[in-house]
Amino acid sequence: MISNQAPQGPAATASASTGPGGTATAASTTAAGPAGAVATRIRGMNANVLREVALLPMLILLIIVGTLVSPAFLTASNFAGIGQQSSALGVVVVGESLILLIGGMDLSLESTFGLAPMVAAWLIVPVAAFGSGTDLSPYLGIVILLAVGAAVGLINGLLIVKGRLNGFIVTLGMTIVLAGLQNGIVKAQTLFNLPAPFGYLGSASIGQLPVSLIVTVAIFVLVGLFLRYHRTGRAIYAIGGNAAAARAAGIKVERVKIGVYVAGSMLAAVGGLMEAGRVSAVTGQQGYQEGIIFSVFAAAVIGGVSLKGGRGNMVGAASGVILLGIVGDILDLANVSNYWIEAIDGAVILFALLLARIVGGESTAEER
């Protein structure tokens, strides 16, 4: 079969293998007329391949532009910097992509991104650095950070799945509650003097490679493999593709959905830890007031993760993150006035969306 040679979307994974299951294939191909079937196959394959590489021309174009803009662009240290700066965002994008895949959405990831490290840092830094005075071990702090993420995800999941509330409204409300807590517990102070183990993930490097980048890449790869080869990962696609059919096939839809909300929020907390380490402080601004959720959605959607659920993968999500990282870096290197950066940033995202739509055929619109 021709399909063996082509990279495939997750939906087509099974076709890449011609095992004993090929018997049915062979029989059916004859029935449908071999030529027609093969033609259909090639067309389907092309669409898949195109969707995977939809952002490649855009990335190449950006690298050319970057090289022209500044000689410092095409250097290892610059790319390490892009990696480090994009890592925290990348981890949150993984979380949001999981939630989008089950057909949900979570706006509150940006607040979890700020609140979880804030709570953890508050419990571990000394009173002089505006801590609570409990002076907990930084390792315990990381556990608490994960627990805060899990708790937020659980509340969201229960309200949305069991309480049957609208996910947009629930997470919008949660965003504001969490951001308020983030400022409330430290009275809008910035926590600094983070202990080394707490800041390690965001600040350390192995040689030129930032640890955060290594961890983020590992998360992308592991989640990607999980989605492709784990039965819960496949259940996520089934639920996003047609929740009623998944339920009829015996999948515990509610349990998987709540689990995904929990996992998404925990990933957002890890992203927050990276960010805190990178800037060696936890500010009241981190997350909500920076408005990172816009970049999170943009990266996921540019990368082909469908807002309607059931479609998208980690390769796409990663390319979305890389694209946004390079755009930000070029704008920095070009010394674009701060007043204009947001406008240009937004325009680039719209352009990338349009390109992905034309090349990949993925519509982000409402059903017509």
Q: Which of 79, 181, 247, 334 contacts another protein by CB under 8 A? A: 247
CA separation for the pair 186, 122 (Å, rounded)? 8
The reply to whether 357 sits near another protein by the rule CB under 8 A is no
> Which of 319, 318, 362, 327 lies closest to 94 in space, CA to CA?
318
**C-alpha pair distances (Å), 233 with each of 228, 310, 313:** 6, 11, 11
d(C-alpha 120, C-alpha 131), whole Å: 10
Which residue type does 129 have?
Answer: A
- Identify the bridge partners of residue 206 per DSSP, sorted by sequence position: 209
Radius of gyration of the chain (CA): 22
Residues 295-314 that bind another protein (CB under 8 A): 310-311
- State CA 92 to chain mean position distance: 5
Q: Which listed range, 83-91, 140-148, 233-241, 287-295, lies at the site for another protein (CB under 8 A)? A: 233-241
Site map 43..62 versus another protein, x via CB under 8 A: -x------------------
3-state secondary structure of 206: strand
Which CB sits closer to another protein, 161 or 321? 161
Q: Is 71 in the site for another protein (CB under 8 A)?
A: no
Minimum CB distance to another protein, residue 97 (Å): 16
232 lines the binding site for another protein (CB under 8 A): yes
Q: How far is the CB of 260 from another protein (least distance, A)?
A: 15
Span of 40-48, 64-72, 148-156, 261-269 interacting with another protein by CB under 8 A: 40-48
For residues 81 and 329, the answer to whether their CB atoms sit within 8 Å is yes
Does 41 participate in binding another protein (rule CB under 8 A)?
A: yes
* Binding-site ranges for another protein (CB under 8 A): 1, 3, 8, 11-25, 27-29, 31-32, 37-38, 40-41, 44, 229-232, 234-235, 237-238, 241-242, 244-252, 310-311
